[in-house]
Structure 1
Amino acid sequence: MPAATAATLGPTVVLAPHPDDESLGCGGLLALLRQAGQPVWCVLVSDGTMSHPNSRKYPAPARQQLREQELRVALTELGVPAQALFPLNLPDGAVPLPEAPTGTVAVQQLVEFLGHTQPATVLVPWRRDPHPDHRATYQLAQAALAQLTPAPRLLEYVVWAWERAAPADLPHPGETQGWQLDIEPVLAQKQRAIAAHKSQLAGSPIDDDPTGFTLAPSMLAHFARPVEVYLENAPA
């Protein structure tokens, strides 16, 4: 699909399980939406604190603050205003499912937020992306959208499935239709947004946790391509 396709999606909300998922999975689309003058909002689902859980230099509140600030910088690189960020502050690594008490609360927060912003499109992680927080985010979104009439268009973006998907995690025949979006015009913006998440990259300022997470070059290579992949329910 050409880059101009982005403008047809209208006002858009992206749900990011962690700070950086918005840039990795759909940073190009977000930049194209903003170039077209479409409003964009970002819901940050988790607090992002489990990337470096053993750091003393950056205890959990400091990690949360750092990662949220990195996200704000990344959004600015994509043309999304910082005030368009809505954090849910759910626990990183333990994002609840909709039937859990905290999940029920999160669903209602999403319903209120989506009712206020009135997006035409919602972006969520692929339903079986191989990270429990990504799968839970998808389910929270589904539970919220079920309460909206009409429901926005739902597009699923890919993050961890590029590297870690088992065969059962991939789309089943007839389940979804997929398409690629040309993001060549904004690829440099997307790369700057990814680079804003410094704590998740080599040379991280959180340098006192040997077990801490950083994105491997092989993983980053998937997001240096001039296309992004989106999936949505196949027509009945």
Structure 2
Amino acid sequence: MSDATALDFHALPLRPAAYAASLGPTAVIAPHPDDESLGCGGLLALLARAGLPVWCVLVSDGTMSHPNSQRFPAERRQAIREQELQAALAELGVGPQMLLPLGLPDGAVPTPDTPAGAAAVKRLTAFFRRTRPATVLAPWRRDPHPDHRATSLLVRVALAELEQPPRLIEYLVWAWERATPADLPHTNEAAGWRLNIEPVLAQKARAIAAHRSQLAPGVFDDDPMGFLLTESMLAHFQLPYEAYIEVTD
């Protein structure tokens, strides 16, 4: 990829909000609770406004944002984060019946070449066959977080099992500010576009705010070394557009 230029997310072609409806029934695959709102909350809200089915698959249990909390043991952290996700989805117009939690370990999402990963692929494949989405949203394959990369692998292997796989669109979370040059999508492998989400920007903001445990001052208050989204990170998701990548064959 050294002979190609990295895509400039802010300069990608801008598509109107109405373009969202062309994606049809859509499933978003989120490594952690909050990735769905950060990476594609605007798109999900536009799909729901258009009356299209939107499913969410939550890959990990979300417990490792505050692993040292004693007052909130792992089981309670998982329950709180899943409740936050349901609240965020409700802000975006997506009901709880459209959520499928896989419950894989946060910070250690398995890859398809492991027994746990192969089992997750089977569950994803069965989910895709049952729901038949026209489009699948997954993290950018080199998003700089191991759970995001593992999630991308699980999704791509599952889609390869289908006779007529849906369209795969990849969204950005950590690539906005943590990507090395090698992590970024390049012009010789991918095309990208931005989606105008201005009509639903307030909905996206409310969905992100629903993930209270990940925002200062937080919920899991006995783990001072736990993770919270920084203001600089959040600024990427307050823009009136979202960026998406489609890998070219």
* Shorter-chain TM band: over 0.9
Matched, 1:72 2:71: no
- Residue 192 of structure 2 corresponds to 178
1:80 partner SS = coil
Note the 1:1-236 alignment, pairs <5 A. 1-234=15-248, 236=249
- The alignment of Structure 1 onto Structure 2 pairs a total of residues equal to 235
2:55 partner SS = strand
Q: Give the TM-score of the pair, scaled to structure 1.
A: 0.99
> C-alpha deviations, 1:185-207, integer Å up to 9, x for none?
00000000000000000011110
Alpha-carbon separation, structure 2, partners of 1:5 and 1:171: 22
Alpha-carbon separation, structure 2, partners of 1:175 and 1:38: 30
Instruction: Note the aligned Cα RMSD (angstroms).
Output: 0.6
One-letter amino acid of the structure 2 residue matched with residue 149 of structure 1: E
How far residue 160 of structure 1 moved from its aligned partner, in angstroms, is 0.2
Unmatched segments (≥5 aa) in structure 2: 1-14
How far residue 173 of structure 1 moved from its aligned partner, in angstroms, is 2.9
- Residue 4 of structure 2 corresponds to none
Alpha-carbon separation, structure 1, partners of 2:125 and 2:186: 29
Alpha-carbon separation, structure 2, partners of 1:222 and 1:20: 14
Percent identity (aligned) = 69
Structure 1 runs, 4 residues or longer, greater than 2 Å off: none
How far residue 108 of structure 1 moved from its aligned partner, in angstroms, is 0.2
How far residue 8 of structure 1 moved from its aligned partner, in angstroms, is 0.5
Alpha-carbon separation, structure 2, partners of 1:12 and 1:109: 17
How far residue 149 of structure 1 moved from its aligned partner, in angstroms, is 1.5
Alpha-carbon separation, structure 1, partners of 2:89 and 2:72: 23
> C-alpha deviations, 1:203-227, integer Å up to 9, x for none?
1111000110000000000000000
Unmatched segments (≥5 aa) in structure 1: none
2:193 partner SS = strand
